[in-house]
Amino acid sequence: MGPSSVGYLLIGIGGCLGSTFAFCLKKKKVEFTSLEIILDGILKHNGPKLHLRLNRINCQINISLNHNQYNLLEECIQTFQKYCVVSESIINGIPLNVKIKKKIKKKS
């Protein structure tokens, strides 16, 4: 029971984007009352064998500001995403190396 594997991926992306954006806002001293990250993963059957794949990820960030600090907010909007390790890794297509170690249990 709990999130699916795709759900965990979306949680990782949302957490990284949110914390990176919040870090930039705090660094620029932008006061905000709420920050909400909404992610939606689009699954689709692809290829001749119709394997289920994550085709697209949509992210919406909602922010409420204490004061009119839109210039500083815009600076963060323009820069924060490139500092999110998780989303940048996915966008740039990180290689995945999988090794399986087999261990045969000896009978006693």
pTM score of the predicted model: 0.81
Task: Say how far apart CA 65 and CA 60 lie, in whole Å.
Answer: 16
Does 41 reside within a domain? yes
Task: Say how far apart CA 88 and CA 95 lie, in whole Å.
Answer: 13
- Cβ neighbour number for residue 52 with a 10 Å cutoff: 10
* Count of domains observed in the chain: 1
Pick from 64, 8, 3, 55: nearest CA to 36: 64
Write out the residue range of the structural domain in which residue 60 sits.
Answer: 5-91
CATH number of domain containing 29 = 3.30.300.20
Distances 57 to 5, 8, 24, 34, 43 between C-alpha atoms, Å: 14, 13, 23, 23, 9
Does 101 reside within a domain? no
For residue 23, the surrounding DSSP H or E stretch is helix 5-27
Can you give the pLDDT at residue 12? 95
What's the pLDDT tens digit per position in 5-32?
A: 999 999 999 999 999 999 999 999 999 9
- For residue 80, give both structure tokens: 């924060």
Q: Average pLDDT for residues 85-99, to the nearest whole number?
A: 93
Does 83 reside within a domain? yes
Using pLDDT thresholds of 50, 70 and 90, give the confidence band for residue 60.
very high
On the question of pLDDT at 58 being above 80, the answer is yes
